[in-house]
Chain A
């Protein structure tokens, strides 16, 4: 292959790849652009691209009219809370399964995975009724518990695959040097496990942030996170594209930034270690 034809090929691939990438990204770009328009400009025919008077009024209006900040904060509390709680419960379990595997470890892991495959509608009624009688409907603590439970299998699995990669010899060496279980965990394992735990936290915050079955069914006005708040735009009154766009942009921006940092972990976490 000559040098020139390979450069030409690279140029062609560049055009193709950018075209596809921009096409997939376009709805997000269009949403962000629309969020800076006035409602009249947002539905202008023909569509206006960049050449308009950029305004921040939609962001202000969304906050004023619907207390956007509270729903944003609900999303933060629910996604971070459920993830932290899940990790606290999962770290000991994953540690034990990775370093003191028993005969049934494999079965336990597979069984945990199987709970993830339970379709949510299969338990919708009982959970709804239990929540109603315990007064947990439309509370953040209720959603923290449910999202922790549905993500717990993924958290255990991710941590397990990360812990598995820590060489066992290091543990043996530390035991020879007289380290007890406590020292072993604190001074040997924890430093090596931090990157894996961080990746697990990141991916699960993303999953919990975007979860849209339980958050829609178990909340009303008070504890609604952004998924449920945005859903309230499905029955609009009057002009609302620009406001919908502003609310949407704020809802997806933080998670998009986290997501870009976690592409690799995403593959591992969502395929339960089957693709690395």
Chain B
């Protein structure tokens, strides 16, 4: 149906978007790779020199990198665990028949729309503050010592805040998938004598596994880049206790002005994200043909 004429027109229509994205990806990424091979500090302009892979060696052997790598894994893993398990349970609950479904759905999804800086500062001050926070009050009421959440358990506190944002997302996606489940299939299984547990594990779980995979992969992409929550609560501290790779690269680049080292860190982050991206692309690519 497509003529040569419309093919040319189509190419012209696609090209602005393609060229822009190509430029957005190649130019800065090329520059980052180039910088990563230089000794280049913004505080010492004019002193740039080629150092080969030294920046990578320093970055990868720096204890801060190991701390940040571990924290990134814990942060991503912790939030994924909480949001997918919690999301499945919540989606199953919201899929039940109860009064006020519309309102409860709205209440549940709301945290996802709260911007990261607001969410982090509200949790930090109004809940986790060891003197005036609601948690401190709650602990006191239970006869416990108030706990300095961000001082004593900074990474856990950040996992908590980020999970509050992403649990609604997981719930919404899983609930959407759950509602597309064929009711007749369940009824047929029920008639054949399958119990509630059997129905759950042999029909619901396989049906949800696809949506759950999508949730895991998409959240991972965003969670690898958690930044604002750390910036406004702990600044990565105490020490490196809540520094993830994104924050480490930011600190090295824009706080210490070490362009070379920051660039090497950035490339390491790109490589790590690509490993995840390959899996995600396969998932979505499969769906394109369907």
**A residues lining the B interface (CB < 8 Å):** 10, 13-14, 16-18, 20-22, 24-25, 27-28, 30-31, 34, 43, 45-47, 89-90, 92-93, 95-97, 99-100, 102, 106, 108-110, 112-130, 149, 152-153, 156, 168, 172, 181, 206, 209-210, 212-213, 216-217, 226-228, 230-231, 233-234, 236, 241, 244-245, 248, 251-252, 255-256, 258-260, 263-264, 266-267, 270-276
Known A-B contacts A28-B110, A153-B21; the reply to A271 vs B126 at CB < 8 A is: no
Contacts of A216 in B (CB 8 A): 117, 227-228, 231
A212 adjacent to B246 (CB under 8 Å): no
Asked if B61 is at the interface of the complex by the 8 Å CB criterion, the answer is no
Docked complex Cα distance between A41 and B283 (Å): 52
Interface residues on B, range: 35 or more
Complex CA gap A28/B273 in Å reads 32
In the complex the two chains form, what is the Cα distance from A31 to B134 in whole Å?
12
Q: Which residues of B contact A129 (CB under 8 A)?
A: 31, 259
Residue B37 interfacial (CB < 8 Å) = no
Contact of A102 with B7 at beta-carbon distance under 8 Å, contacts A21-B104, A28-B110, A216-B227 already known? yes
Task: Please indicate the chain B residues that have their CB under 8 angstroms from the CB of A274 in the complex.
Answer: 210, 214, 283-284, 287
Secondary structure of the A contact surface, majority rule: helix
Q: Is B88 an interface residue (CB 8 A)?
A: no
B227: chain A residues at CB < 8 Å are: 120, 212-213, 216
Q: Which of A27, A102, A248, A259 contacts B10 (CB 8 A)?
A: A102
Nearest-Cβ distance from residue B180 to partner chain A, whole angstroms: 7
Q: Is the CB of B14 within 8 A of A123?
A: no
Is B253 within 8 A of A233, CB to CB? no
Within 8 A of A (CB), among B65-80: none
- Tell whether B51 is near chain A: CB-to-CB under 8 Å: no
Neighbouring B residues of A276 by C-beta, 8 Å: 176, 180
B277 CB-CB contact with A under 8 Å: yes
The 17 listed contacts between A and B (C-beta, < 8 Å) are: A14-B100, A17-B101, A17-B104, A21-B103, A99-B10, A112-B21, A119-B225, A119-B246, A119-B269, A125-B262, A213-B227, A217-B254, A241-B125, A241-B126, A256-B110, A271-B218, A273-B287
Interface residues of B, dominant DSSP: helix
Known contacts A118-B29, A121-B249, A244-B126; 9 further A-B pairs (Cβ under 8 A): A24-B108, A90-B17, A93-B14, A102-B7, A128-B253, A255-B115, A258-B113, A259-B113, A263-B109
Chain A residue with Cβ nearest B290? A274
Binds A, one of B151-159, B165-173, B181-189, B198-206: B165-173
> Chain B interface (Cβ within 8 Å of chain A)?
1-2, 6-7, 9-11, 13-14, 16-18, 20-21, 24-25, 27-29, 31-32, 35, 90, 93-94, 96-101, 103-119, 121-127, 132, 134, 137, 141, 164, 167-169, 172-173, 176-177, 180, 210-211, 214, 218, 221, 224-225, 227-228, 231-233, 245-246, 249-250, 253-254, 259, 262-263, 265-267, 269-270, 272-274, 276-277, 280-281, 283-285, 287-288
Residue with the highest number of chain B CB atoms closer than 10 Å, among A18, A109, A212, A256: A212
A213 to B223, CA, bound (A): 12
The answer to whether B110 touches A248 (Cβ under 8 A) is: no
